[in-house]
Amino acid sequence: MFEKRNPYILKNIWDMHDGCSNCGQRYQLEPSFFYGAMYVNYGITIGIALTIAAIMMISGSWEKWHYLAAISAGIIGLAPITFRIGRMVWINMFVGYKPDESD
């Protein structure tokens, strides 16, 4: 789906193939199709933040700025991955995966 395998090459983060090499399904179904992926990405990011906060709460007593630093580092560090996951989840909500079919 993405042209580069490494999500941390930020120069090419927006580059995607036009369609599936196996079945020919176009990825850009309509102009601005992936704007909705921002909402999926937001949900994933909130999940990451809550997970980090829960782990920190269970592991001991921390200052507020420790929470802020850990959650910020986690979100920023995982941003390229959540960007890709958000787009993949969004397109899979509208396009079914049929591995045996080809055009």
Contact 16, 57 (CB under 8 A): no
Dihedrals φ, ψ of 77, to 5°?
-65, -35
Any domain includes 70: yes
Q: Classify residue 88: in a domain, yes or no.
A: yes
- Res. 102 pLDDT band, cuts 50 70 90: low
Q: Which helix (H) or strand (E) holds 26?
A: none
Q: For residues 74 and 72, what is the distance between their CA atoms, to the nearest angstrom?
A: 5
- Whether 68 has a pLDDT exceeding 90, the answer reads yes
The model's pTM is 0.77
- 40 located within any domain: yes
Range of the domain at 68: 31-94
The domain tally of the chain equals: 1
For residue 80, is it within any domain?
yes
| Per-residue tokens: 14 | 């927006």
